[in-house]
């Protein structure tokens, strides 16, 4: 593989990790019953993605505006796991 392909693979793996952690963050929000933040995040992500698909072609660069929400959801999950580890 060329260096560019290695970088592309590394960024794809990082993106996958962030997505999995953000799914964990969604489950934490459901468990804590924080419906307002969960609904806001899902509406922004879902509505924004739908608007992007309807208005322009859906390329990977169009996911960039939603990445902060994914990072926040991933941080919620990591914080939950950290608190869980230190409380035991």
* Mean pLDDT, rounded, of the chain: 83
Q: What predicted TM-score, i.e. pTM, was given to this entire model?
A: 0.70
Chain centroid offset of residue 35 CA? 17
Provide, rounded to the nearest whole percent, the portion of the chain with pLDDT above 70: 88
How open is the CA angle 80-84-88, to the nearest 5 degrees? 170
Q: Which of 30, 40, 25 is nearest to 74 (CA)?
A: 25
The pLDDT of 16-21, averaged and rounded, is: 90
């Amino acid at each position: 593989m060329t260096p560019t392909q290695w970088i592309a693979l590394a960024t794809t793996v990082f993106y996958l990790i962030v997505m999995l952690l953000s799914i964990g963050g969604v489950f934490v929000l459901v468990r804590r019953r924080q419906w307002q933040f969960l609904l806001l995040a899902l509406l922004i992500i879902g509505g924004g993605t739908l608007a992007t698909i309807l208005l322009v072609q859906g390329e990977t660069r169009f996911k960039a505006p939603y990445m902060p929400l994914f990072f926040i959801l991933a941080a919620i999950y990591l914080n939950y796991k950290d608190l869980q580890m230190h409380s035991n």
